[in-house]
Structure 1
Amino acid sequence: MNWLANLSQTYDDHAHVAGQFELKKDGREYALIPLSHTTQTAHIEVHLDMEGHFLSAQVVCKEEGSTIIPCTEAAASRTSAPVPYPLFDKLMYVAGDYVRYCEAPKGTPHQDYLSQLQDWCNSPYGDRKVRSVYEYVRQGTLIEDLVRHEVLHPGADGKLLGKCTPELEKRIGKRPEIFNVIVGDQSGAFVRFAVHEPGQIEHRLWRDTQVQESFTQYYASRMEDTDLCYVSGEWLPIAEKHASRIRHSGDKSKLISANDSAGFTYRGRFRTSREAAVVSYEVSQKGHNALKWLIERQGTTKDGKVFLVWGSEQLKQPEPQEDIYDLFAAHEMEPEVMGDSTHKQYALQVRDALVGFRYDPQYASIADVTIMILDAATPGRMSIVYYRNLDQNVYIDQLEHWYITCYWRYRYRKNQTASTGSATFVKTPTPKDIAFAAYGPRASDKVVKGLMERILPCIVDQRQIPLDIVRSAVQRASNPVGMEEWEWQKTLSIACALVNKHYAKEGYGLYLKAESTDRSYLFGRLLAVADVLEERDLNREKKRSGSSSHRATNAVRYMNVFSHRPLRTWKIIYAQIQPYLVRMGDKSFFYNKLCQEIMGKFELQQFNDEPLTGLFLMGYYNQRDEMYTSKQAKEAGQANSSQEALQDPPDKVTDDHSE
C-alpha cells in the first residue's frame, strides 16, 4: 500500500488547490477533486435564484463541460442500477417530468434523488444554495422549462428527439447545440446548477468551495463503520467501494476492488474482503483523487496505458519518455549544432537542463520521485504494472546516464528555409522513437506501449536494452530500400544509438574508430567507401545531365543481404563499382588505398560470410561521416585535433539528408 500512502500524502501537500480548475494544453479544465466528489461532463447548465425559481438555461460547450460533483460510494460505482448523485445528475434523476417526455425508467430515480437531496439540506451541514436547487427540482418542471427555452427539443409526439432531424434544423435555422455536445439522445443529458443572489452574484455550485465542504462534512457524518486502516494505521471509517474513472471520465476500471464474494478475488484465503485489506474512506478518496489529478496534469497515456512521474516536493519532473529537446526548450536552451564538436558538448547541455531539478532552492534537499505505470487488462480491473519510488537525485542521475550513453547524430532541417539549410545534432531517441525504429511507423499502439514499458527499467534502473529490440532496429536500418530517405536516416541514427549503448564498454562513439579490428565494424566501413564512391559519380553525372532523378547506390541496395552474407555480397558490390573507379582515373587512388587499409585490418579467419552484428551500421555511418566532414572541416579551418583525419576524398559531395 506504499503507492496509496504516497498519493495520499501528495493530496495533503496540495489540498489548498482542491476544487480549483486549471487548463490543459487543449483548453480543457481539470482540478484536484475534493473528498466525496468526482467529475462528470455536464451538457446543460440551469440558472436559479435563491428562492428556487428558474431564470435561464444553456448548453455547455465541450471545453467547459468538466464538472466537480458531490458523490457517494454507491453512486461512484453505479452501473445499470439507478443510484442518484446528490446534487448534479442526468435528467432521469433530476427532472420530475421525465416520464412525460421520455420512456419511464426502472425504479424510482427521481424520488431517490429528492430524498437524498432533502436529507442533505435538512442536516446541520446543509447549504442555502443547495436548498434553492431542492426547491426548484421538487416542482417537477425541469424538462418543460428546458423545452420552453429551446435547450431541449421534442418531436411531433411530444417526446424528446433521439437525434437531430432535418425538419428540426429547418425550423430553428441551425443545428441545435445540444446535439453537438451529447453522445446519444437528449434523455441522457447531464445537468448542473448555478444560483444567483440579489446584486448579480452568481454561485456556480460545481466550483463553490462552501458547497463542496458542506457535502464533505455531511457525508462524513453519515459514515459509522470504522476499522483499522492498513495505510494510515488509524481507526477510521472504511471504504466499501473504491473510485473508478481514474484515467478519464469514462473509465470503469478500479485499482482496488473486493466485491466478488462468490468468485476468486479472495475466496479460499479469507472469509471476507476486510481480512485481505482494509483501506479507510479518507485515504482511498485522497489517493484516488490525487492520482486522477496527476494523470490529468502530467500523465502520458498510450492506448489506455498511463505513464506517470511526479515528485514529492516538485510535482513536475523530467519524464523518461520525454524528448531531450523538449527539456532544452523548457529551459530556453538551443541544441548545439554538432559539426566537428565532441559528445562532451551534448553531455554538458544535458546536465545544464537537469540541474534545475536537482538544485532548485525552493524545494527541500531530500525529495522523492515516484514512477508509475497503470494499465487495465479488462474493462473493470486496473493494475499497477510498474512502480518505483526513489530519491530525486538518484532519479536525475539515472536520467542523465541514459541521455549521455544512448545517443547518436541526427540530421534534421531546423526551421527549414533555403538559407538555413540543414544541421546535424546529437540526440537521445525517445522510447516512442525506438518503437517506430524497431517495428516500423505502422506499429500498433499496443506494440508501442509495450516497448515503452520495457524500455523504462533500462532508463530508471540502468538495465541493458533488450537484445530483441536492438536486433529489430538494426534489421530495419539494414533495409533502406523499403523506406523513404528521411525515414531511413532517422531509423539508422536510432539503431546506431542503440548499438552504441549496447557496446558501450567497447568505446565506440560518434567518430570513426580507425583502430577497431571488429569484423562487423570493418565490413561496415567497406560498404561506406563503396557507397560514397558511387554516390560521388552519380552526383557528378546528375549535374552534368541536369537530371533531378535519384538512384540508390549498389551499396544501399545490397545493404540488407550484405548484413547476412558480407563476403559474398562485397565481391558483387566491388565488381559493380569498378566502372566508376575506371572513370575516375587518378582520383580512384584514394578509394583503392582506403579499401586496402580497411581490409588490412581483417584477420584472415574473420574475412568470412558469417552474419554481421549491429556494429556494421556504426562502421558504415562513421566512415561515411568521416569522408564527408573531413574536407568540410579542413575548408573551415576547424580540423578536429582529437582524432586523426583521413585523407580527403578528391571532390566534395553534399550529404544533406533532411527530415
Structure 2
Amino acid sequence: MSWLLQLYETYEANQAAIGKVEKKFNGQEYALLPIGHTTQNAHIEVQITEDGNFHSATVLTKQEMSTLIPTTEDSASRSGSANYPYPLHDKLSYVAGDYGQFGRNNKKLEHHTKYIEQLRLWASSPHGINKVKSMYHYLQKGQLIADLVAHDILYVNDDGRLITKWEKRHESLASIRPAIFSIVAGDQEDAFVRFNVYSPTEHLTEVWNDKQMYDSYIGFYSDQLSEQDICYVTGNTQPGTVKHANKIRHAADKAKLISANDSSGFTYRGRFDIANEAASIGYDVSQKAHNALKWLINRQAKVVDERVFLVWGNEQLDLPDMMDDFFSLDPTAVLEEGVAVHTYEELAQEVAKAMSGYRNSLSAMQQRLEHTPINIMVLDSATTGRMAVIYYRNMDKELYLQRLEQWHTTCTWLHRYRKNEQGEFVRFFGAPATKDIAFAAYGPRADDKLVKGLMERMLTCMIDSSQQTIPRDIVQSAVQRASNPVAMERWEWEKTLSIACALVNKQEGMNVALDKENVDRNYLFGRLLAVADVLERNALGGEQRATNAIRYMNAFVRHPARTWSTIQQSLQPYQARLGTKATYWNKIIDEIGAKMPVEQFNNQPLTSLYLLGFYSQRHELYQGGAKAAAAIEEETEI
C-alpha cells in the first residue's frame, strides 16, 4: 500500500492545483481532479438560463470536448446497459426526459427516471447551489431533445425519431452534413451532453471549471457515504469503497489497479468472505490517490506502448528522470567544436552541478523533513480491465540523486545526435536516454514491446544498484549493430556507434580521450580501423560514399587480421592520391602496429572494446589530424 499512501500525500501536498487546467505539448488538456469527479468527452453543450429555461446549444469541436464531470462510484465503473447515471452531465438517454418520444432503444427508457431523481436530491440538499437548481428546473421539464431538434443540433426522420445515420435522402433537412454526425462515433443517441448556466448580466464560470460546483457535489455525495471501515492505507476509520477508478492512463483506459469481482473473476474467494477483508481502502483515499496518479501521468510520465514510467516527489514533483540523457538534464552542457572532451573529473563536476539545482530547490523542505522521499513507478496492463504496478521503489532523494550521478558519469560517451533550439546538432558528453539505447540495440523500427521491456530492465540497472552491470545481451546487440554501418544511414550509424560506446564504457571505465598507452589487442585493432577510415575519407574529398574501412567493418570484427590485410591493400590507391599528405596517417598505422605483439595479430574475433579504440582514435584524428598532416607536409617540402 506504500505507493497508494505516497500518491495520497502527493494529492494533499498539491491542493492548489486542483481543477487548474494545464496543457500537454500536443494541446491536450488535463487537471488534478477533485474527488468524486472524472473526465469525459462531451459532444453537445447546452446553455440554460438562471431561471431554468433553454437558452442555446452548440456542437463541440475535438479541442473543446474534454469535460470534468461529477461521478458516483457506480457511474464511474458502469458498462454496457447498466443504469448508473452520472449526477449531472451524461448521454441523451439519461438527461433527456423526452427520450421515449424521440429515441429508438426501449431498454433505455428507465435511464432518465433514475437520473432526474439523483439530480433532484442534489439540488434539494443543503449543498445544492443555484447553478444546480437552475439545471434541475430545466431538465425536469423533459423537453431537451425537442429543444435540440428545434435549434438544429439534432435531427429526426419523418417518423419523429432520431436519425441513426446521415444519408443523402436527408439533405432536405440541411444543405451540408450536420456537425453532430461527424463528432459522435455512433448515432445521435450516443451524444454526451454537458450543461452550463447563462446569465445576461454577468460572466459566470463554466460549470465544469467552477470550484463551487466541485465543493457542492463533494459535500452532497459525502453525505451519501455512511458505512465506516478502517482504511488500510492511512489507518483511519472512514467510508470505504470497493469500486476504484479507471481511466488512469487516458480517457479510454478501462484498466483498474484495484478491483474486486468475485462473482466473475474469483479474485478473493477461498481466502476472504467479502472484498473489504482482502483490502479495505477509504473512498477519500482511493479518489485522491488515483486522481494524483492520473495527473502525474499526464504531467510528466513517459508512456511506451501503454507502459507508464513515472518518477515524482510528493512535494517536489519535477525530478531528474533516469530515462533521459544528460543533455535533457542540462542542455547548457554542450561542447563547442574543437574543444577537448571531458575527463572523468570534469564530467563529474558537470553532473554534480546539474544535480545541485535539484538539491538546492529542496533546501527549504529539508528544514522541515529529515528525509525527502521520491517514487519510481512502472505501470502496465496485460488485459483491458486489469493494470499492475510492475515496478515500484520509494527511496531517499539524496540516494536517488547519487545513483543518477553514478549513472551519468559511468555510462557516458561523446554524442552528437541532439539538436539545440536553433535546430543544430550539438555535441554533448554524458549518458544516452534509455529509449535511445533501445533503438541502438534493436533498430529504429523496433517493436514497442521490445522497447518498453528494455527500458524496464535498464531502470533496475540504474536504481537498484549503482554497481549493477548492463545486461550483456543489450550491449552485444548495440555493438553488433554499430559494427554493421552499411546497413544504416550515416546519421543512424553515428548515433548507434556513440551509444554502443557508452554501454561498453560502462563496463570498461575508459575516457573518450585516446589512450595511447593501451596495448589491448582489441583496442589497437579498433585504432587501426579508425586511421584507415580517416585516411581514405580525406582522399575522397567531397565524395560521400562509404570508405573501405566502413564497408569491411563487420568482417573486420570477426576476422581482424585477414580483413586488415584487405583494407590495407585497398588503402594503397588513396595513399598514392594523397602523396606526402598521407605520411601523418601512415606513421600512426606503424606506431599502432608496433605496439601489438606478433602472436596477438590473429583472426580471433574482437570484443566490444574495439569500438572504444575506433571512436577515440577517429575523434583524435578529426580534432587535430588536419593541422598535424599540414605541418608534416610542410616539413616534407622543406
Normalised TM-score (structure 1): 0.89
Native 8 Å contact 2:341 2:414 kept in 1: no
Residues 585-633 of structure 1: CA deviation (Å, up to 9, x unaligned): 5555444432232223223443222221111111111111222222457
Q: What secondary structure does 2:201 align onto?
A: coil
2:490 is equivalent to residue 489 of structure 1: no
Q: Could you tell me which amino acid in structure 1 is paired with residue 9 of structure 2? A: Q
Distance 1:425 1:225 in 2: 59
TM superposition shift of 1:479: 0.6
Distance 1:293 1:476 in 2: 39
Corresponding residue for 1:192? 194
Q: What secondary structure does 1:342 align onto?
A: coil
Corresponding residue for 2:328? 326
Corresponding residue for 2:93? 92
Corresponding residue for 1:563? 557
> What does 1:260-659 align with in structure 2 at a 5 Å threshold?
260-261=262-263, 263-329=265-331, 333=332, 335-337=334-336, 339-344=338-343, 345-360=346-361, 363-365=364-366, 366-411=371-416, 424-461=427-464, 462=466, 463-504=468-509, 508-539=510-541, 549-631=543-625
Aligned residues: 624
Distance 2:592 2:202 in 1: 85
TM superposition shift of 1:89: 0.5
Native 8 Å contact 1:154 1:160 kept in 2: yes
> What does 1:145-184 align with in structure 2 at a 5 Å threshold?
145-165=147-167, 172-184=174-186
Native 8 Å contact 2:242 2:275 kept in 1: no
Distance 2:156 2:503 in 1: 62
Residues 404-456 of structure 1: CA deviation (Å, up to 9, x unaligned): 22222223596799xx9976432431111111111111112222222111111
Native 8 Å contact 2:104 2:162 kept in 1: no
Distance 1:117 1:448 in 2: 48
Native 8 Å contact 1:305 1:374 kept in 2: yes
- Greater shift, 344-353 or 278-287, is seen at 344-353
TM superposition shift of 1:242: 0.7
Q: What secondary structure does 1:343 align onto?
A: coil
- Greater shift, 313-322 or 89-98, is seen at 313-322
Distance 2:171 2:480 in 1: 57
Corresponding residue for 1:102? 103
Distance change (3 Å), C-alpha of 1:133 and 1:572:
same
TM superposition shift of 1:584: 4.8
Distance 2:451 2:548 in 1: 33
Distance change (3 Å), C-alpha of 1:423 and 1:30:
closer
Distance 2:79 2:430 in 1: 49
What percent of counterpart residues are identical?
50
TM superposition shift of 1:476: 0.6
- Greater shift, 458-467 or 439-448, is seen at 458-467
Which of 187, 193, 215 pairs up with 1:213? Answer: 215
Native 8 Å contact 1:42 1:190 kept in 2: yes
Native 8 Å contact 1:313 1:368 kept in 2: no
Distance change (3 Å), C-alpha of 1:182 and 1:497:
same
TM superposition shift of 1:156: 4.8
Corresponding residue for 2:230? 228
TM superposition shift of 1:308: 1.3
Distance change (3 Å), C-alpha of 1:560 and 1:164:
farther
Q: Could you tell me which amino acid in structure 2 is paired with residue 598 of structure 1? A: I
Native 8 Å contact 1:429 1:497 kept in 2: yes
Distance change (3 Å), C-alpha of 1:23 and 1:409:
same
Residues 328-356 of structure 1: CA deviation (Å, up to 9, x unaligned): 34xxx362325342315554443333322
TM superposition shift of 1:95: 1.0
TM superposition shift of 1:270: 2.5
Q: What secondary structure does 1:38 align onto?
A: strand
Q: What secondary structure does 1:35 align onto?
A: coil
Distance change (3 Å), C-alpha of 1:483 and 1:650:
farther
Corresponding residue for 1:44? 44
Distance 2:610 2:631 in 1: 22
Q: What secondary structure does 1:268 align onto?
A: coil
RMSD of equivalent CA atoms: 2.6
Distance change (3 Å), C-alpha of 1:648 and 1:219:
farther
Native 8 Å contact 2:327 2:428 kept in 1: no
TM superposition shift of 1:25: 2.8
- Greater shift, 623-632 or 4-13, is seen at 623-632
Q: Could you tell me which amino acid in structure 1 is paired with residue 404 of structure 2? A: L
Distance 2:405 2:100 in 1: 63
Distance 2:419 2:67 in 1: 42
Corresponding residue for 1:124? 126
Distance 1:537 1:31 in 2: 60
Distance 1:175 1:649 in 2: 78
Distance 2:199 2:570 in 1: 89
Distance change (3 Å), C-alpha of 1:414 and 1:377:
closer
Distance change (3 Å), C-alpha of 1:422 and 1:4:
closer
TM superposition shift of 1:274: 2.2
Native 8 Å contact 1:627 1:648 kept in 2: no
Distance 1:257 1:378 in 2: 13
Native 8 Å contact 1:246 1:291 kept in 2: yes
Distance change (3 Å), C-alpha of 1:264 and 1:522:
farther
> What does 1:77-88 align with in structure 2 at a 5 Å threshold?
77-80=77-80, 81-88=82-89
Distance 1:287 1:381 in 2: 17
Distance 2:419 2:86 in 1: 53
Q: Could you tell me which amino acid in structure 2 is paired with residue 359 of structure 1? A: N
Residues 24-68 of structure 1: CA deviation (Å, up to 9, x unaligned): 333332211111111111111111122210011112222232222
Native 8 Å contact 2:333 2:428 kept in 1: no
